[in-house]
Amino acid sequence: MNSTFDQSEFLQKLETQWLGHSIRYFEELASTNTYLKKLSSQDIQHGLFCLTDYQTRGRGQYERRWESEKGVNLTFSIVFTPVDTGRFHVLTLACALAIVEKLNDFLNASCAAIKWPNDIILNKKKTAGILTEAVFSGNTFDRLIIGIGLNINQQKFSYELKEVATSVSLEKGKEINREQFLADLLNRIEYKYTLWEQQQSSLIKTINQNIIGYGQWVGLKIDDEVQDELYKLLGINENGALLMLNRDGGIDSFSYEQIQLITN
Ligand SMILES: O=C(O)CCCC[C@@H]1SC[C@@H]2NC(=O)N[C@@H]21
C-alpha cells in the first residue's frame, strides 16, 4: 500500500485552471507549510502546490504535531495570493467544505462534516486537518498558505489516536487512488476559491450547513474556560466570525482564536 506519489498520473488527472499545475514534490520534507513559507516572493505564485510523502516535522494547529504514515496519505500545502487580504478564515472553511463534499460524494453518504474551526470529521472520527498561515513581508501581506493533512490509506493509528482518527480507506473498505482523489479535491478547492473571491453568500450558507452543531445548543469554552450556559450555534458570518445566540437572546460573535465548541 505504501507507495511513492505518482506526479505524472496526478497531473494527467488534474482538471484545474491554475491550482496545482506548478508542483513541488518531495519524498520527505520537514513540513510542506514550512517549505512554502520559506520561499522568497519571487519564487512563488498563486496556486503553487507542495506535496510530500513524509513529513518529519508536520505541524498542526495550536503548535501540535501532525503525524502521518509514510506514502499512504496526503500531506500538502497550497499558496494563495489573493487581492482581498481578509476573510481568510472563510477561505479555510471553503477548503474544508471542498474536502467534506469530496468525501460525501466518494463514500456516497452524508458522513463527513466540518468540526469548527479546521477539522474534518468522517463518521465521528477525524480524517483531515487544516493549518492556515499568512506570510508578511514587513507589514505587507505576501501570501496565504493552506496546508491540508488528509488520512487516505492509513490502516492503523497509534494507541492515542485510534479511537479518534480514521482514514478514507478504512471507511470505504478498500484502497484509494491518492492521485485521483487529490486531483478531484483540487478541482473542488479551485471552484470554492472562486466563490470565496466573488464573496458569494451561497458559500457561507453551505459552509454553515456542514458545520457540526449548526442550529443547535452547544457548549462553549471561552479563552479556555468552560461556560455554564449553552449557546445556539448560528454559523459564521461573511467575515468568518462565529455567531452564537446566548440565553438572553443576544448574539455574540467570536473569532476562532477565542473559543472552542463542545459538541457531541
Ligand atoms: O488538525 C490540525 O491541527 C491541522 C493539521 C494540518 C496538517 C497539514 S499536513 C500538510 C501541512 N504541513 C504541515 O506541517 N501541516 C499541514
C-alpha grid cell for residue 5? 506519489
Would residue 44 count as lying in a domain?
yes
Residues 21 and 63 both lie in one domain: yes
Which amino acid is residue 78, in one-letter code? I
Q: Is-contact 61 38, C-beta < 8 A?
A: no
Determine whether the shortest distance from the Cβ of 64 to ligand 1 is under 6 A: yes
pLDDT value of position 242: 95
Cβ neighbours, 10 Å, residue 167: 24
Domain boundary among 189, 209, 229: 209
Determine whether the shortest distance from the Cβ of 61 to ligand 1 is under 6 A: yes
Global pTM reads: 0.97
pLDDT value of position 263: 84
Q: How far apart are CA 223 and CA 236, in angstroms?
A: 19
Would residue 257 count as lying in a domain?
yes
Residue nearest to atom 11 of ligand 1 (CA): 147
Q: State the 10-residue block means of pLDDT for the chain, 264 residues long.
A: 90 97 96 98 96 98 93 98 93 98 96 95 97 95 98 95 96 97 98 98 98 96 92 96 95 88 84
Residues 19 and 99 both lie in one domain: yes
Q: How far apart are CA 51 and CA 49, in angstroms?
A: 7
Residues 25 and 80 both lie in one domain: yes
Dihedral in degrees, nearest 10, Cα atoms 10, 197, 104, 219: 130
Q: How far apart are CA 132 and CA 77, in angstroms?
A: 9
Domain of residue 239 covers 217-262
Centre of ligand 1 to C-alpha 148, Å, is: 5
Would residue 12 count as lying in a domain?
yes
**Nearest-atom index, ligand 1, CA of 149:** 9
Determine whether the shortest distance from the Cβ of 77 to ligand 1 is under 6 A: yes
Establish whether this prediction's ipTM goes over 0.95.
yes
Q: Going by C-beta distance under 8 Å and a sequence separation of 6 or more, which residues neighbour residue 149? A: 58, 60, 66, 68, 73, 74, 75, 128, 129, 130, 131
Residue nearest to atom 3 of ligand 1 (CA): 60
Q: How far apart are CA 237 and CA 154, in angstroms?
A: 35
Centre of ligand 1 to C-alpha 246, Å, is: 33
Residue nearest to atom 1 of ligand 1 (CA): 129
Indicate the pairing of strand 140-150 with strand 259-262. Answer: unpaired
Residues 92 and 199 both lie in one domain: yes
The set of long-range contacts for 32-40, using a CB threshold of 8 Å and a minimum separation of 24, is 32/75, 32/76, 32/77, 32/147, 33/59, 33/77, 33/131, 33/133, 33/145, 33/147, 34/59, 35/77, 36/77, 36/79, 36/143, 36/145, 37/133, 37/135, 37/145
Residues 15 and 115 both lie in one domain: yes
Determine whether the shortest distance from the Cβ of 66 to ligand 1 is under 6 A: yes
Centre of ligand 1 to C-alpha 12, Å, is: 26
The residue among 70, 64, 1 whose CA lies nearest residue 29 is 70
Please count the structural domains in the chain.
2
Q: How far apart are CA 183 and CA 196, in angstroms?
A: 20
Centre of ligand 1 to C-alpha 65, Å, is: 8
Would residue 2 count as lying in a domain?
no
**Nearest-atom index, ligand 1, CA of 30:** 14
Q: Is the dihedral of CA 191, 193, 195, 201 positive or negative?
A: positive
∠ CA 23-27-28, rounded to 5°: 110
**Nearest-atom index, ligand 1, CA of 55:** 14
Would residue 1 count as lying in a domain?
no
Determine whether the shortest distance from the Cβ of 33 to ligand 1 is under 6 A: yes
Which CATH number is 62's domain given? 3.30.930.10
Determine whether the shortest distance from the Cβ of 20 to ligand 1 is under 6 A: no
pLDDT value of position 1: 66
Determine whether the shortest distance from the Cβ of 32 to ligand 1 is under 6 A: yes
